[in-house]
Structure 1
């Protein structure tokens, strides 16, 4: 059986531990028939031949910058059938200055609301809130989330700006709080897919830290998303 090719691209803000985070999933990719190449920068996106031979790109690059040539290469590859997936800031908070990247992914991190000001101590935990990830009706029948029940997390809860081209498999709702300026609950997508030409995009917003990535529900969604997004699946 011919093995598929996965490209792991990691870097950006070190707070999301891109090396340790992506290493959690390399054995899964290997055991599911992928030869894995790891790159520490987005330079590879400008290599048209490499991306044309790649079935799946797994990106973990928070913030950072991308050149016009690199982004054009990534967009063209996805449009031609290369799968594209990632989690948390590694895909939903990448390349903030690039509207074309946002157009490809379909959703962008806006904020993660924090605790009451008097409870904040100046660390990352200031933005850790208990919340529920709820599977949508579509998500209950989709291969990525079928059988996954609503689950609770205590971590960053992403508020996402998004468009109507995404298919939402799970959501999370930000409640009104006395110290916040919004006046009604706001529901954001927590897991979504997107068809882009012949390619598939999957975004999972939980994943701030290794313990969240090791949550059985989060890990299941990310791993299934890798298989669903890959070129072999998108061609079927």
Structure 2
């Protein structure tokens, strides 16, 4: 049986406990044995290499140097990493090694909760198969992103809330490699109720399976 680790915590506004329970259920439905931890110290476990997948749901917090180094090491060696919204790409703002692995870092969400459009850029990719562009109501993430990411979906900023970024096309979903490991990220999923959006849930489920080398 494949094993996955979910580490949740940090800012309560992202409802990490509720989101972790939902993600755990999704993975268990796919046959994973899921471990749940509530401290970043879990990333320092030398036995992480036994896992197929690690899912951080841990916003605006700190990670120790040893914890970040071990996490990066096991991903480079082939363990999958997957996550969403601030739980992965606004987890540890001071940890550049962690950001290098993830492929991006949140910096703003102009207008806070707004309506925006998600555009599928790679409909030929298995993660996006059968999905079309869709409207979304949440934080529209403005991010600093790695140009080596393989971008699967984007959003375009209208400029209504920050005129100087009008027309900027920003990645929403991407996948990448970190050494031998597969890394997947979606900026969708501010709070638990967003898992009720079929596109959000489908993209994350498929992305996690891809990162764990179980595409479906």
Per the shorter chain, which TM-score range? over 0.9
Q: Which residue pairs with 1:16 in the alignment?
A: 14
Distance 1:180 1:61 in 2: 27
The structure that has the greater radius of gyration is 1
Matched, 1:88 2:85: yes
Matched, 1:128 2:110: no
- The alignment partner of 1:95 has SS state of coil
Q: Which residue pairs with 2:136 in the alignment?
A: 153
Distance 1:43 1:175 in 2: 40
Task: Tell me how large the CA RMSD over aligned residues is.
Answer: 1.3
Distance 1:198 1:233 in 2: 15
Distance 1:108 1:28 in 2: 25
* Stretches of structure 1 lacking an aligned partner (at least 5 in a row): 115-126
Distance 1:173 1:16 in 2: 23
Deviation at 1:174, TM superposition (A): 0.7
* TM-superposition CA deviations, 1:17-58 (whole Å, max 9, x none): 101011112222112121000000111111112x11111001
Query: Structure 1 runs of 4+ off > 2 angstroms?
Result: none
Superposition map of 1:70-219 within 5 A: 70-114=67-111, 127-136=112-121, 139-177=122-160, 180-182=162-164, 184-219=166-201
Distance 1:183 1:68 in 2: 35
* Stretches of structure 2 lacking an aligned partner (at least 5 in a row): none
- Structure 1 residues 147, 41: closer, same or farther in 2, change over 3 A? same
Q: Name which of 31, 34, 37 aligns with 1:33.
A: 31
- The alignment partner of 1:165 has SS state of coil
Matched, 1:226 2:211: no
Q: Report the TM-score, using the length of structure 2 for normalisation.
A: 0.96
Deviation at 1:191, TM superposition (A): 0.4
Deviation at 1:98, TM superposition (A): 1.1
Deviation at 1:80, TM superposition (A): 0.6
